[in-house]
Amino acid sequence: MRITILTQYYPPEHGAPQNRLHDLAKRLVAAGDEVTVLTAMPNYPRGEVFREYRGKLTAAEELDGVRIVRSWISASKSKGTAAQLAVYFSFVFSSLLVGFLKLRRSDFLIVESPPLFLGFTAILLKFAKRAKLVTNVSDLWPESAVQLGIIGPGIILSTLEWFEKTLYKHSTLVSCQTEGIVGGVKKRLPEAATILFPNGVDTEMFTIRPRSGEIAEELEIPENAFVVGYGGNHGRSQALSRVLEAAAIVRGSRGDILFLLCGDGPEKPELVEKASKMGLDNVRFVDSQPREKMADIQSVWDIALVPLKDIDIFEGARPSKMFELMAGGIPFVFCGKGEGADIAVESGCAVSVPPENPAELADAVLRFAELAFERRREMGAAGRRFVEEHFNRARLAENLRGSLAAINGGDS
């Protein structure tokens, strides 16, 4: 099959959608498919185009057998709504032009949403390249934007809701990351053909590893510290300011617990400033790391955190980082409710606490710190078994490819 993936986010950027989509593309190529990715000049999460791509309107390259076509984007460091809309729409229109000129005919065009606006490009390219459209929904927009306070009632919201439904109507298949998203799509368009394509993990990259002394030395982790790790985006959705408040509570009880926050994002400067003002010497920030290195960094964590903001739509969220923790045998605290919390607890690798509740988070961390090492190791082993059985990306990609082949008349 010839498959094109349209996404604003792709490696060498780091992040959940980047990792997930490149993993899928590699597996499709390995299965014998011809895969092209149409994406933006890398700029996330810094808000500036990476140095080697600056000044280019378009670029072509290959990574792991995947053909990558890039188009210009007006990157911005501003967190303002107007600035972010300008970023989104710059890629919507540049990718449309480059797609018309550079893409070959495809059997399937898979578009990643959000950003929802990219569906405009997808619909037009669907007709131009005579492809069947597959919309992969990793977050329900505009509903998420409303609950995050980005968009309020009015003509803009009504227009986005109309377009969301229109995109589903034009899609041969809507792949959804969670059961909650499946329900949300069906609520908007009951006749939509949907498939559950959940977050998962590369179980060969993320494995149970011995503690890396080299990483511990590089990050200057005290020898007897109990390390509480976080790896991922520092954005609005993660409510990391509440983690800082929990760290302040923990510091009052035990001085050997170190919170290690790894990653980058729009909220990071404010978080660093807040931690400094609070005098949190038990919190350390680490720059964003290559995904391959995160598997080693996880080895120095005694436990980890998967925090979410307290909004209704996140009751259907399944953050990809929790599957990486399970694969690495790292027990963790899930700060949330709903689907993600249920899966975390079912794995045997985690406990859950309510979202944005510093007191309960601090209590869970302290209880983990008192837990015997052997018990934590048993929890980690249970998580590894669970993720291998239910959320192995190799199996998930195989299932999605099977659905595409069936739609394509059995021609794989």
Rounded to whole angstroms, what are the CA distances from 8 to 34, 70, 93? 20, 9, 12
Walk along the chain (412 residues) and give the pLDDT tens digit of each residue. Answer: 999 999 999 999 988 889 899 999 999 999 999 999 999 999 987 889 999 999 999 999 999 999 999 999 998 888 777 888 888 899 999 999 999 999 999 999 999 999 999 999 999 999 999 999 999 999 888 777 777 777 778 888 888 889 999 999 999 999 999 888 999 999 999 999 999 999 899 999 889 999 988 999 998 999 899 999 999 889 888 999 999 999 999 999 999 999 999 998 889 999 999 999 999 999 999 998 887 788 889 999 999 999 999 988 788 888 889 999 999 999 999 999 999 999 999 999 999 999 999 999 999 999 999 999 999 999 999 999 999 999 999 999 999 999 999 998 865 5
| 12, two tokens | 């060498």
The whole-angstrom separation of Cα 260 and Cα 304 is: 9
The whole-angstrom separation of Cα 40 and Cα 247 is: 37
- Residue 143 phi, psi (nearest 5): -55, -45
Give burial (CB, 10 Å; 0-12/13-18/19+) of 7. buried
Q: Do 2-200+392-407 and 213-390 agree at the fold level?
A: yes
* Sequence-distant (≥ 6) Cβ neighbours of residue 108 within 8 angstroms: 1, 2, 3, 4, 131, 132, 133, 134, 172, 404, 408
Helix (H, G, I), strand (E, B) or coil at 257: strand
CATH architecture of the domain 213-390 equals 3-Layer(aba) Sandwich (3.40)
The whole-angstrom separation of Cα 189 and Cα 212 is: 49
CATH level 3 topology of 2-200+392-407:
Rossmann fold (3.40.50)
- Ordered by start, the domain boundaries in the chain are 2-200+392-407, 213-390
The whole-angstrom separation of Cα 405 and Cα 412 is: 5
